[in-house]
Amino acid sequence: MGKFQIENLGTPHYKSPLKLSTVKGDNIFDFVSDADRLVFDLSMEYYNHCLKTGEAPLCLEKAGPRQDIFFDAQKTTAAIVTCGGLCPGINNVIRGVVMGLHYFYGVKKILGIPYGYEGLNPEKGHGFVELTPDKVKDIHQFGGTFLGSSRGSQDVSKMVDTLQANNIDILFAIGGDGTLKGVDAIGQEIQKRDAKISVVGIPKTIDNDIDLIDESFGFETAFDVASPILRDAHNEATGAFNGISMVKLMGRDSGFIAASAALAMPVVNFVLVPEMDFSLEGEKGFLKALEQRLELKRHAVIVVAEGAGQHLFQEKSGVKDASGNVKHKDIGLFLKEKIGEHFKGSSVTIKYIDPSYIIRSAPANSSDSVYCSRLAYHAVHGAMAGKTRFVSSKVNNKYVYVPITEVTQKRKKIDMEGEFWFSVLQSTGQPFSWA
Q: Of 207, 224, 253, 368, which is the active-site residue?
A: 207
Measured distance CA(211)–CA(207) in Å, rounded? 11
Measured distance CA(269)–CA(292) in Å, rounded? 12
What residues form DSSP beta bridges with 272?
A: 304
Q: Specify whether the CB–CB gap between 97 and 201 falls below 8 A.
A: no
| 104: CB partners within 8 A, 6+ apart | 17, 18, 65, 377, 380, 381
Number of Cβ within 10 Å of residue 366's Cβ equals 10
Running DSSP on this structure, what letter comes out for residue 57?
P
Indicate if 207 belongs to the active site: yes
Nearest partner of 97 among 23, 13, 209, 173, judged by Cα: 173
Q: What is the dihedral of CA 209, 213, 215, 218, to 10 degrees?
A: -70
Running DSSP on this structure, what letter comes out for residue 259?
H
Measured distance CA(307)–CA(282) in Å, rounded? 23
Running DSSP on this structure, what letter comes out for residue 172?
E
Measured distance CA(38)–CA(399) in Å, rounded? 10
Catalytic positions? 207
